[in-house]
């Protein structure tokens, strides 16, 4: 096992910036939702930021990403601009999916971000196929597939574990275990709650990681991605995390105790990282203040961009039902 790289100031600040951006972006989304600027389903990643921020460090620009409907964080950390994501949430033409997908369906071909998939487990076969294409073309690329613990109960999960291991496909399965499939706790829907054990039964390397610790996530994901890339083999990480907010904006959150939520909030990945960076004397209070200031500016600019955006003309409603132009 490789030792964890010593944390330096610049990298620590970058991880902090990414997690803070996701946190503040979503906090603003809640306000905008209340103001009815954002509609539909919206699922917040608050509390789970360390997973996307840590995992994305291991990916190269030509790697592919498949995500879920709780994917604002993944898109932001991957480098899809806050402005184009916010415009998407507003349903504006300038959004990353032309305003047609909304919160759950962020797509961005430029960063190989293959969506926001809102069918639990539905992204896994896509990831397997993207990896199959890479393998058949001899490209040493990784497809990172994020999904939640709830997906593990879907048949598609088992089909894809088996197929990717059987065919030696370069998929990095990143299971964000926040302990709840919507409102049902994992021990009430899984006969085996050790998810890494389940994945390992398909003959792939699998282990569990503290998903609240961004450095632990980064270290594990780098190791797993290196294994996937070098061996053209799938790998599975269970990232143990927790969402601090309800499942969606419609969820009254009556199935968890306040004490349980508070206990997890004591392990806030952002405050934990700040404390660690401070303890190592790598950052000062002013660094955090500066980050907060620049992120607030970025989000304000994103909102202004979304507000100024245009609505897609109704005349274009049927565009792209079928692909336009010849096959690439």
Partner 1 sequence: MTVAPAKTITYREAMREAIREAMLADDRVFLMGEDVGAYGGCFGVSKGLLAEFGQDRIRDTPLSESAFVGAGIGAAMGGMRPIVEVMTVNFCLLALDQIMNNAATISHMSGGQFQIPLVIRMTTGAGRQVAAQHSHSLEGWLAHIPGLKLLAPATIDDARGMLGPALADPNLVLIFEHGSLYNLEGELLPEGGAVDIERAAIRRTGSDVTLIAYGGTVATALTAAEQLARIGVEAEVIDLRVLRPLDDETIIASVVRTQRAVVIDEGWRSGSLAAEVSSRIMEQAFYELDAPVARVCSAEVPMPYPRHLEQAALPQPETVVAEVRRMIGLAADE
Interacting residues with partner 1 (CB under 8 A): 64, 95, 97-101, 105, 107-109, 114-115, 117, 119, 122, 124-134, 136-137, 155-156, 159-160, 162-163, 166-167, 319-328
- Contact by Cβ (8 Å): 292, 25: no
Closest approach of Cβ 141 to partner 1, in Å?
Answer: 9
Closest approach of Cβ 31 to partner 1, in Å?
Answer: 26
d(CA 58, CA 142): 10
Angle between helices 155-166 and 123-136 (to 10 degrees): 10
What values do phi and psi take at 242, rounded to 5? -160, 135
Q: What is the DSSP string of 195-237?
A: HHHHHHTTSSEEEEEETT-HHHHHHHHHHHHHHHHHHT--EEE
Q: Which is nearer to partner 1, 24 or 92 (CB)?
A: 92
Closest approach of Cβ 310 to partner 1, in Å?
Answer: 13
Closest approach of Cβ 40 to partner 1, in Å?
Answer: 13
Q: What would the two tokens of residue 269 be?
A: 């990945």
d(CA 236, CA 221): 10
Closest approach of Cβ 311 to partner 1, in Å?
Answer: 13
d(CA 193, CA 195): 6
- Half-sphere exposure of 234 toward its Cβ, with a 13 Å CA cutoff? 31
Supply the DSSP symbol for 108.
B
Closest approach of Cβ 176 to partner 1, in Å?
Answer: 20
Q: Which is nearer to partner 1, 120 or 220 (CB)?
A: 120
Closest approach of Cβ 327 to partner 1, in Å?
Answer: 4
d(CA 117, CA 132): 19
Closest approach of Cβ 125 to partner 1, in Å?
Answer: 2
- Contact by Cβ (8 Å): 242, 272: no
Cβ-based neighbours of 41, under 8 Å, separated by 6 or more: 69, 102, 103, 104, 118, 248, 249, 250
Q: Which is nearer to partner 1, 133 or 261 (CB)?
A: 133
Q: Which is nearer to partner 1, 13 or 64 (CB)?
A: 64
């Amino acid at each position: 096992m490789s030792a964890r790289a010593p944390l330096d100031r610049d990298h620590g600040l970058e991880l902090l910036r990414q997690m803070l951006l996701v946190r503040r972006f979503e906090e603003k989304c809640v306000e905008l939702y209340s103001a009815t600027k954002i509609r539909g389903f919206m699922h917040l990643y608050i509390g789970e930021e360390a997973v996307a921020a840590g995992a994305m460090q291991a990916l190269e620009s030509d790697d592919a990403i498949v995500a879920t409907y709780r994917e604002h964080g993944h898109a932001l950390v991957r480098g899809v601009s806050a402005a184009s994501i916010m415009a998407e949430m507003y349903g504006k033409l300038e959004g990353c999916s032309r305003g047609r997908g909304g919160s759950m369906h962020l797509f961005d071909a430029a960063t190989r971000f293959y969506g926001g998939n809102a069918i639990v487990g539905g992204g896994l076969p896509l990831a397997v196929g993207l990896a199959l294409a890479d393998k058949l073309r001899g490209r040493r690329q990784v497809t990172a597939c994020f999904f939640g613990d709830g997906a593990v109960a879907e048949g598609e999960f088992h089909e894809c574990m088996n197929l990717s291991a059987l065919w030696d496909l370069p998929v990095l399965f990143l299971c964000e275990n926040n302990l709840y499939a919507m409102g049902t706790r994992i021990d009430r829907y899984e006969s085996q709650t050790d998810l890494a054990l389940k994945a390992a039964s398909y003959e792939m390397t699998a282990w569990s990681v503290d998903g609240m610790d961004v450095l632990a996530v980064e270290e594990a994901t780098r190791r797993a991605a290196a294994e996937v890339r070098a061996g053209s083999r799938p790998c599975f990480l269970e990232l143990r995390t927790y969402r601090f907010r309800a499942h969606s904006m419609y969820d009254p959150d009556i199935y968890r105790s306040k004490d349980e939520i508070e206990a997890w909030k004591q392990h806030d990945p952002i405050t934990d990282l700040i404390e660690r960076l401070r303890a190592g004397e790598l950052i000062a209070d002013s660094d955090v203040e500066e980050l907060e200031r620049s992120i607030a500016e970025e989000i304000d600019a994103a909102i202004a961009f979304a507000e100024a955006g245009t609505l897609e003309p109704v005349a274009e409603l049927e565009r792209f039902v079928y692909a336009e132009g010849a096959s690439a």
